[in-house]
Structure 1
Amino acid sequence: MVLKLHGVSFSTCTRTVAVVAKELNVPYELVNVDFAKGEHKSPAFTAVQPFGQVPYIDDDGFKLFESRAIARYLAKKYAGQGTKLIPTDPKEEAIFEQGVSIESSNFYPSAIGFGIEKVFKPMRGLTPDEARAEEHLKTLASKLDAYDVLLGKQKYVGGNEITLADLFHLSYGQLLVQAGQADLFESRPNVARWWKEISTRPSWLAVKDAA
């Protein structure tokens, strides 16, 4: 049975799962969830995903939500094919976990905060809070200064091989670029090198516009 990915083709979290599947050479079927009709809040959907958010997967009856959890599950289940996305050496795995924590604590909060104000609110016809958006950018710039130091010592955020820690940056990084903030990456040499490498991977190019 082909993995079923219940989500929205343009959603950041759906594309996070999609890029991981592509890296692992795992075929999937996108089952579109119609937000306009409120399908994500329907009893059938919330019976699986009680928060009414996308995506979730159905892997031959095994259902799982939260994109990072799904990514880890796929990386471990299909560890013998495609790209190795979670190290097994204890020290390398510890550095990988450090990288995952860096993304969730130092990149994601400001990236999604900016995205909410400058991308998602306008999509819903709401007025963005410009001061809040600017504060998120200021915070993110400071965090990326630290990224530049880290990436001067190792090739990727999670070590010297690409891992989930890097792929987790792609969807919201792309959102920042599309919102005119490419300089956040390009103005820092080590970050620029890293971002160019991960954002031009065939797996991401295949799903960056639609999962």
Structure 2
Amino acid sequence: MAIKVHGLAVAACTVRVLLCLHEKGLEYELVPVDVFNGAHKKQPYLSLNPFGQIPALEDEDIKLFESRAICNYLANKYKDKGADLLRSSSLKESAIAEIWMEVEAHQLNGPLRALIHQFVLNPLRGKVPDEKIVEGELEKLEKVLDVYEERLSKSKYLGGDFYTMADLNNLPYLLYFMKTPKASYVTSRPHVNAWWNDISSRPATIKVSEGMTMI
């Protein structure tokens, strides 16, 4: 059975999985989930993810949810294909990559997700961004990007001199954020900007971003 990804090409967490699949050069089927009519909160989708969130993945006899866990699974199972996203052959390199994977998940993801909600989702719902929320989340984002700037002044990528999952995981929300009026928070930091230009121009990123049509 071909790999099946249940989700939407515009949804950030689905995008994360699609990026991993493309970096690995794997064939897959994207199975759209009608979230607008609540299909993700009903059976049969709940048998794939009991929390009713997208995406979910089917690969042979295994069913997975949570995008980062899915990506780690794919990177481990297909480690001999495409980019070496987890640096599994080196304990030191994999440990460093894992640190920055955690940083993305616990430090960067929150502010970026909130900002995308304000700048992308609110307008789609006929609402304007809440300036108080935007200001608070930008303050958080600045602090994280300052750490990124320091890190990237010493290495080409977050995990070292090689592209890893630590970089890939940042892309879904950044791809949307860079289309907002606040993109200068990235472009004003020379090392972060050089990193962004690199990871956003990868063939896998370009291909997947074609489906991100919300803005």
Same fold, TM-score > 0.5, yes or no: yes
Q: CA deviation at 1:121?
A: 2.7
Q: Residues 10-32 of structure 1: CA distance to partner in whole angstroms, max 9, x if unpaired?
A: 11111110011000011110000
CA distance in 2, matches of 1:141, 1:208: 25
The equivalent residue for 2:92 is: 91
Q: Residues 117-148 of structure 1: CA distance to partner in whole angstroms, max 9, x if unpaired?
A: 22223323345322111211122122111111
SS at match of 1:36: helix
The equivalent residue for 1:206 is: 207
Which shifted more, 62-71 or 114-123?
Answer: 114-123
Which shifted more, 186-195 or 117-126?
Answer: 117-126
* Counterpart residue type for residue 13 of structure 1: C
Contact 1:33 1:39 in 2 (8 A): yes
The number of equivalent residue pairs is 211
SS at match of 2:137: helix
Question: What is the percent sequence identity of the aligned residues?
Answer: 38
* Counterpart residue type for residue 131 of structure 1: K
Is it true that 1:145 corresponds to 2:146 in the alignment?
yes
SS at match of 1:178: coil
SS at match of 2:58: strand
CA distance in 1, matches of 2:204, 2:146: 27
Q: CA deviation at 1:180?
A: 2.3
CA distance in 1, matches of 2:158, 2:141: 16
Q: CA deviation at 1:200?
A: 0.5
Contact 1:115 1:176 in 2 (8 A): yes
Q: How does 1:1-211 map to 2 (within 5 A)?
A: 1-88=1-88, 89-210=90-211
* Counterpart residue type for residue 154 of structure 1: S
Q: Residues 151-180 of structure 1: CA distance to partner in whole angstroms, max 9, x if unpaired?
A: 011111122211001000111001111222
CA distance in 1, matches of 2:31, 2:161: 35
Gaps of at least 5 residues in structure 1 are none
Q: Residues 51-90 of structure 1: CA distance to partner in whole angstroms, max 9, x if unpaired?
A: 1111001112311000000000000000011111001211
CA distance in 1, matches of 2:4, 2:43: 19
CA-based RMSD: 1.3
SS at match of 1:63: strand
CA distance in 1, matches of 2:17, 2:130: 30
Contact 1:10 1:209 in 2 (8 A): no
SS at match of 1:5: strand
SS at match of 2:197: helix
Which shifted more, 94-103 or 64-73?
Answer: 94-103
SS at match of 1:191: helix
SS at match of 2:120: helix
CA distance in 2, matches of 1:105, 1:209: 27
Q: Residues 36-61 of structure 1: CA distance to partner in whole angstroms, max 9, x if unpaired?
A: 22111112111221111110011123
